[in-house]
Amino acid sequence: MNERVQNPLRQVHQLGQSIWLDDIRRSWLRDGHLARLIADDALGGVTSNPAIFAKAIGEGAEYNDAITSLARAGRSTNDIYETLALEDVQAAADLFRSTYDSTGGADGFVSLEVSPHLADDTKGTIEEGLRLWQAFNRPNAMIKVPATEAGLPAITALIAAGVNINVTLLFSVDRYRAVVDAYLTGLEQRVQAGRPIDKVASVASFFLSRIDTLIDARLDKMNTAEAKASRGRAAIASARLAYQYYKQWSNSDRWRALADKGARPQRLLWASTSSKDPAYKDTMYVDALVAPNTVNTLPPATIDAFRDHGDAAVRIEDDLAEANETVQILRKLGIELKTVSEQLERDGVKKFKEPFDALFVTLEKRAGK
Catalytic annotation, pick one of 123, 144, 353, 365: 144
How many residues belong to the chain?
Answer: 369
The widest CA-to-CA distance across the chain, in whole angstroms, is: 63
Nearest to 234 by CA among 310, 311, 338: 338
b/e burial code for range 266-277 (CB count within 10 A of at least 16 → b):
bbbbbbbbbbee
C-alpha to C-alpha distance for 58 and 175, rounded to whole angstroms = 33
In the beta sheet, which residues pair with residue 142? 111
C-alpha to C-alpha distance for 279 and 367, rounded to whole angstroms = 43
Answer positive or negative: Cα dihedral of 72, 73, 76, 79: negative
CA separation, residue 208 to residues 168, 203, 213, 238, 369 (Å)? 12, 15, 9, 8, 39
C-alpha to C-alpha distance for 291 and 18, rounded to whole angstroms = 9
Instruction: Let me know: does 358 contact 66? Beta carbons within 8 Å.
Output: no
∠ CA 352-310-314, nearest 5°, is: 90
Q: Is 353 a catalytic residue?
A: no
Q: What is the DSSP string of 254-318?
A: HHHHHHTTTPPP-EEEEES-S--STTS-TTHHHHTT--TTEEEEE-HHHHHHHHHH------TTT
C-alpha to C-alpha distance for 66 and 83, rounded to whole angstroms = 9
Q: What are the catalytic residues?
A: 144
